[in-house]
Structures are given as C-alpha cells and as structure tokens.
C-alpha cells in the first residue's frame, strides 16, 4: 500500500517566502496524490501562480500570504490503499507602522496623544523609548494606551524629546521616530509700573521674558512701535541694536529685552509697552516713564537793595522732587527773610548786599537729581 514519509506537521513561514509542504509518497503501483486546504480540494492546475505540485507529491506554495494559513491534508491513493498526512501552515507578517506625523508641536498644559499604529501577524507588541531610554507603561504625566499610543495628560517642557515606537512580533520588528516639541507662552517677569528719569540722563526700561522658544521683544510707546526694523531675540548675547539715533542720543534693545534710552528728553515721557511674542502666545508689560525737568530761567538776576525777589525753580517729576537751594555751595537755611515756596522758588524778602552770589536749585527724587544755577547781583 502507499505510504508517506515522515516530515514536519507544523510549519511557520514569513509572508512571501516560498515554502514546501512535504508529502513524499511511495508505493506500488505509484499512488495518485491530491491536496486539501481546510477540507476543500485544492486544484493545483488552476492555481499555477500560487501552487506547484512536485512529482514526489510535495506541495510548493510560491508566495505565501496570510490567506494561506490553514490545515493542509495530503492524500495518496492506489489500488493497494491510501495514506493521509496533515500539515498546519502558519504565515506570519513582520510588523509595519502606519505613516503618521513624525513631528508634534504642543503648547504647555495641553493634552497630547502620540500615535503608533502598527500591524502584523501575529499582532505585534509595542513599546516606546524616549531619548533612547525605554518608557514604562505609565510614568510622570503619561500612560501608554492599549492602542499603542502615548497619552500625555498635560504636556510639560520636560516631555519634549525624541520618542521611538518599536513594534515587534515573531516575524521581525519595525520602529518609527517621533519628535515632540513643547512651546511655552511668554511670561514677562515682574517689573515696575512706573519709572522716572532726570532730563538728559540715561534710563533702562526693563523687560525680561521667559518662554519656549525664546520670545522676541518689541517696544511700543503710546501704541506706536519704538522699533521699526524688527525684533530682537532675548537669547542674542552680543547684539545690541540701536534705533532713532541722534547726535549723542539713541534707543537700544539690550540682549535681555530692556529698552535703553541713552539721553532722555521731554518727548520720551509716556506709556511704554513691552511686547514679548513666540509661536505659543504674546505677553505685554506696561511701564510709565516720567522725565523730570527743571524749567530754564534767566542765568542772572539784578535787584536793588531792600527790594524783594523770587528766584524760580520749577521742577517736574514723579514722585514730585524735593527742592533744595545752595548759595555759593552752602545749603540755604530758611529764615524770616529767605523762604522756599511750595513751587520750589526761593523768596528773599528784601535783598541785602550779602545776598549776592551764585544760587543753585537742586531737584531730587528716586530717579536722580538735576540742578540749575542763577547769579544774583544786589546794588
């Protein structure tokens, strides 16, 4: 009677890799051979692109697909009898990962889901690594979902990095890299709401901002851009850009974002707005600048003896400046004849020859001080 030689009964192959199901039959007379797939007769002659039957009785599957996973039965028959043998074939498919975005840009505190859609036979397992270090199923602010995606509940700057999804099964593995960029809206550090500067003195209006990426700083005064030729990154260490240049006078944005006025004039007084911007948002900081001015007056006064005179000293500033007077370098102490008015002026009730000399009015507040001098002649 016919017989079939022993051979493997469980075969696992990779998709598209040609395989042979052995059925080496012997017998006299030479037996006929047929194959069944899951109980259904396999017509090899009509499927020559998929199968080939060897003279020995073995079956070649030319390019196995997942659909070829089945139980195959080889039957050999002759007038002397028959023999049967079954072979279980499993066709595996290496993992593949769907083509999905590889760059994610997220703002802090926003939720994020980084996907990794994998397929394969058997279905692959998925694990993640961040910057080369394998991630646990759950960690600080994240978890790996059953779908294989990473869910980040409220994205922080620390979550930024290069993530690698690895899908693996018995047939192989696949990986995909994803970069997560986290941006943070600008925040302007606490700063004074009001500053004062003495006329012709320098002043720095501070504007220190944080954010990711580093914010760009522009300045406005009363709603009009102070800087007209672009913005300056806080991170620029060396660059200082100057604007509105005049002789001995300039505006400059310093590396940390502050606005430097080299020599303040009356027109610099007003409300300034620091604008810090990056792709995640905008922050505004407002500063009021007061320019303290001592009004100019005649450089010399001539008065007759015993006549009253008032030497003016009009000063503007915030907070209102304190006024002091000096004569020939010595502080003037108020007396019945000499009195400093609320306006800052020095009133001399009746001038005497000894009152002649150089008078200096000094206005001072937290912003600094400024002085102006007047000569008094008594005759």
Structural domain range at position 61: 3-92
Average pLDDT on 23-41 reads: 93
Q: Is the pLDDT of residue 191 over 70?
A: yes
For residue 226, what are the contacts with CB-CB under 8 A and spacing of at least 6? 218, 219, 220, 243, 244, 251, 259, 272
The per-residue pLDDT for 266 is 86
Buried b (16+ CB within 10 A) or exposed e, 153-178: eebeeebbeebbbbbbbebeebebeb
Counted domains in the chain? 4
Residues 283 and 201 in one domain: yes
Tokens 């998929």 label which residue? 50
Counting residues of the chain whose pLDDT is more than 70, the rounded percentage is 92
Give the model's confidence band at 363: pLDDT under 50 very low, under 70 low, under 90 confident, else very high: confident
Residues 197 and 285 in one domain: yes
According to DSSP H, which parts of the chain are helical? Answer: none
Q: Is the pLDDT of residue 241 over 50?
A: no
The per-residue pLDDT for 249 is 64
Residues 196 and 106 in one domain: no
The lowest-confidence range among 152-156, 207-211, 241-245 is 241-245
On the 0-12 / 13-18 / 19+ scale of CB atoms within 10 A, 131 is: exposed
Strand-pairing partners, residue 106, are: 182
Residues 199 and 281 in one domain: yes
Counting residues of the chain whose pLDDT is more than 90, the rounded percentage is 72
Residues 28 and 50 in one domain: yes
Tokens 């990056």 label which residue? 278
The lowest-confidence range among 97-101, 213-217, 221-225, 293-297 is 293-297
- Give, as one character, the DSSP assignment of residue 216: E
Q: Which two tokens stand for residue 25?
A: 């039959």
Q: Which of 238, 271, 291 is the last residue of a domain?
A: 291
For residue 31, what are the contacts with CB-CB under 8 A and spacing of at least 6? 2, 25, 76, 77, 78, 82, 83
Residues 54 and 8 in one domain: yes
Residues 10 and 103 in one domain: no
Residues 130 and 162 in one domain: yes
The per-residue pLDDT for 243 is 39
The per-residue pLDDT for 229 is 37
Q: Is the pLDDT of residue 242 over 90?
A: no
Average pLDDT on 75-86 reads: 93
Half-sphere exposure of 374 (CA within 13 A, CB side): 21
CATH label of the domain that carries residue 18: 2.60.40.10
Residues 216 and 300 in one domain: no
Q: Which of 133, 151, 185 is the last residue of a domain?
A: 185
Give the model's confidence band at 230: pLDDT under 50 very low, under 70 low, under 90 confident, else very high: very low
Mean pLDDT value across the chain: 89
The per-residue pLDDT for 59 is 96
Q: Which of 42, 69, 92 is the last residue of a domain?
A: 92
Cis before 319? omega within 30: yes
Give the pLDDT confidence of 273-287 residue by residue, as tens digits: 999 999 999 999 999
Average pLDDT on 316-328 reads: 84
> Which candidate, 126, 217, 247, 243, places its Cα nearest to that of 178?
126
The per-residue pLDDT for 318 is 66
Number of helices followed by number of strands (H, E) in the chain: 0, 40
């Amino acid at each position: 009677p016919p017989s079939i030689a022993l051979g493997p009964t469980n075969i696992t192959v990779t998709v598209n890799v040609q395989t042979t199901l052995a059925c080496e039959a012997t017998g006299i007379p030479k037996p006929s051979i047929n194959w069944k797939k899951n109980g259904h007769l396999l017509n090899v002659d009509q499927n020559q692109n998929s199968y080939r039957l060897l003279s020995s009785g073995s079956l070649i599957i030319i390019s196995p697909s997942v659909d070829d996973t089945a139980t195959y039965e080889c039957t050999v028959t002759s007038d002397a009898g028959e023999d049967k043998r079954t072979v279980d074939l499993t066709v595996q498919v290496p993992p593949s990962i769907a083509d999905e975005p590889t760059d994610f840009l997220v703002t802090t505190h926003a939720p994020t889901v980084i996907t990794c859609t994998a397929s394969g036979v058997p279905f692959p397992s998925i694990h993640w690594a961040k910057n080369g270090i394998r991630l646990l199923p759950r960690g600080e602010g994240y978890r790996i979902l059953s779908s294989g995606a990473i869910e980040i509940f409220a994205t922080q700057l620390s979550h930024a990095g290069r993530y690698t999804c690895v899908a693996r099964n018995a047939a192989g593995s696949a990986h995909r890299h994803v970069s997560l960029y986290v941006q943070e809206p600008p925040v302007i550090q606490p700063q004074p709401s009001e500053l004062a500067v003495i006329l012709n003195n320098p002043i720095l209006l501070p504007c220190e901002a944080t954010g990711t990426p580093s914010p760009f700083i522009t300045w406005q005064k009363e709603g009009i851009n102070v800087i007209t030729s672009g913005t300056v990154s806080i991170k620029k260490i060396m660059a200082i850009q100057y604007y509105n240049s005049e002789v001995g006078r300039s505006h400059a944005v310093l590396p940390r974002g502050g606005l430097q006025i080299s020599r303040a004039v009356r027109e610099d007084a007003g409300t300034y707005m620091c604008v810090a911007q990056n792709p995640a948002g905008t922050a505004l900081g407002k500063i009021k600048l007061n320019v303290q001015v001592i009004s100019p007056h005649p450089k010399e006064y001539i008065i007759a003896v015993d006549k009253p005179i008032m030497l003016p000293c009009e000063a503007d500033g915030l907070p209102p400046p304190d006024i002091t007077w000096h004569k020939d370098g010595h502080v003037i102490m108020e007396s019945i004849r000499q009195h400093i008015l609320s306006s800052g002026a020095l009133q001399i009730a009746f001038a005497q020859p000894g009152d002649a000399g150089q008078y200096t009015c000094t206005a001072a507040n937290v912003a600094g001080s400024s002085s102006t001098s007047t000569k008094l002649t008594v005759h």
